[in-house]
């Protein structure tokens, strides 16, 4: 799939070792004005590298493979499938600050459905990369549409960007909502409106 190949082609040709990454974090600690050799910080670079592997594990995962297995024994079910309140934990590519929120995902199956956990896994794979919310929303939708050969896909993300709440303009209550529609959700407003009504009661 072109989307995944483009991501793979953007990887550094030179493999960076954990030790090299730890040295980079030591340099940042020194730049901050800290002593990376003091007791409380000696293990910090190693811990940060370990944490970054978790924060950005999506670069090592293929969302298409997540959706590889589908099921056809659904007695002809052809209405929308919606999964609401999928947690989103990502990082913005501009400041590497956390993006925290939730996603709602819907698709209209074309003869086959996918396991419900796989929808959340696709959100997870793309979230665990440096992102803009707009691109994240579109990546999830396009991957579901293409991989499932769906009749339609809708994705909504509602999140808080800590690059806005903790720095810069510092508007701690500001949230950002993005929507992306494909297929029947884009072409038929009755599907889109029903989807929006069904996710409107998703407040925690």
Q: What is the CATH number of the domain that holds 32?
A: 1.10.286.10
- Strands (DSSP E) found in 31-185: 70-71, 81-92, 98-108, 113-114, 130-131, 152-161, 176-183
DSSP state of 150: -
> What is the percent of the chain where pLDDT is above 90?
82
Of the three residues 55, 80, 96, the one that is the final residue of a domain is 55
Q: Which residue among 91, 131, 133, 139 is the active-site one?
A: 133
pLDDT of 76 reads: 87
Q: How confident is the model at residue 189 (pLDDT cuts 50, 70, 90)?
A: very high
Q: Which two tokens stand for residue 74?
A: 């659904």
Same domain, yes or no, for 79 and 148? yes
Same domain, yes or no, for 129 and 173? yes
Residue 93 annotated in active site: yes
Show the domain range for 76. 70-199
Q: Report the distance separating Cα 43 and Cα 48, nearest Å.
A: 9
Residue 23 lies in a domain: yes
Q: Which residue among 34, 83, 89, 95 is the active-site one?
A: 95
Residue 167 lies in a domain: yes
Residue 173 annotated in active site: no
pLDDT of 147 reads: 96
Same domain, yes or no, for 11 and 49? yes
Residues in the chain: 204
Same domain, yes or no, for 98 and 164? yes
Q: What sign for the dihedral angle of Cα 73, 75, 80, 83?
A: negative
Same domain, yes or no, for 34 and 106? no
Number of separate domains in the chain: 2
Residue 64 lies in a domain: no
Of the three residues 11, 32, 55, the one that is the final residue of a domain is 55
Main-chain dihedrals φ then ψ at residue 52, nearest 5 degrees: -65, -35
For residue 114, the SS3 value is strand
| Strand pairing report for 81-92 and 130-131 | parallel
Residue 22 annotated in active site: no
Q: Which residue among 11, 23, 65, 94 is the active-site one?
A: 94
pLDDT in tens, 24-81: 999 999 999 999 999 999 999 999 999 999 999 999 999 999 999 999 988 889 999 9
State the average pLDDT for the chain: 92
Q: What is the CATH number of the domain that holds 90?
A: 3.30.1130.10
Residue 104 annotated in active site: no
Contact criterion met (CB below 8 Å) for 10 and 4: no
Q: Which residue among 131, 163, 184, 192 is the active-site one?
A: 163
Q: Which residue among 92, 104, 124, 131 is the active-site one?
A: 92
Residue 94 annotated in active site: yes
Same domain, yes or no, for 133 and 180? yes
Same domain, yes or no, for 32 and 110? no
Residue 62 lies in a domain: no
pLDDT of 172 reads: 84
Residue 95 annotated in active site: yes
Residue 163 annotated in active site: yes
Residue 204 lies in a domain: no
What angle do helix axes 18-32 and 44-55 make, rounded to 10 degrees? 110
Q: Report the distance separating Cα 88 and Cα 58, nearest Å.
A: 13
């Amino acid at each position: 799939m072109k989307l995944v190949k483009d991501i793979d082609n953007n990887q550094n040709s030179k493999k960076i070792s954990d030790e090299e990454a730890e040295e980079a974090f030591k340099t940042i600690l020194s730049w901050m004005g800290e002593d990376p050799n003091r007791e409380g910080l000696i293990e910090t670079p190693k811990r940060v590298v370990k944490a970054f592997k978790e924060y950005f594990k999506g670069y090592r995962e293929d969302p298409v493979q997540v959706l590889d297995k589908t099921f056809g024994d659904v007695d002809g079910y052809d209405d929308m499938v919606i999964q609401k309140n999928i947690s989103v934990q990502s990082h913005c590519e501009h400041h590497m600050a956390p993006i925290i929120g939730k996603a709602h995902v819907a698709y209209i199956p074309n003869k086959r459905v996918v396991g419900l956990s796989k929808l959340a896994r696709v959100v997870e794979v793309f979230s665990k990369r440096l992102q803009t919310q707009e691109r994240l929303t579109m990546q999830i939708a396009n991957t579901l549409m293409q991989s499932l050969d769906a009749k339609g896909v809708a994705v909504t993300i509602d999140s808080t960007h800590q690059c806005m709440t903790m720095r810069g303009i510092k508007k701690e209550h500001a949230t950002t909502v993005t929507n992306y529609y494909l297929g029947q959700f884009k072409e038929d407003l009755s599907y889109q409106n029903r989807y929006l009504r069904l996710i409107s009661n998703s407040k925690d």
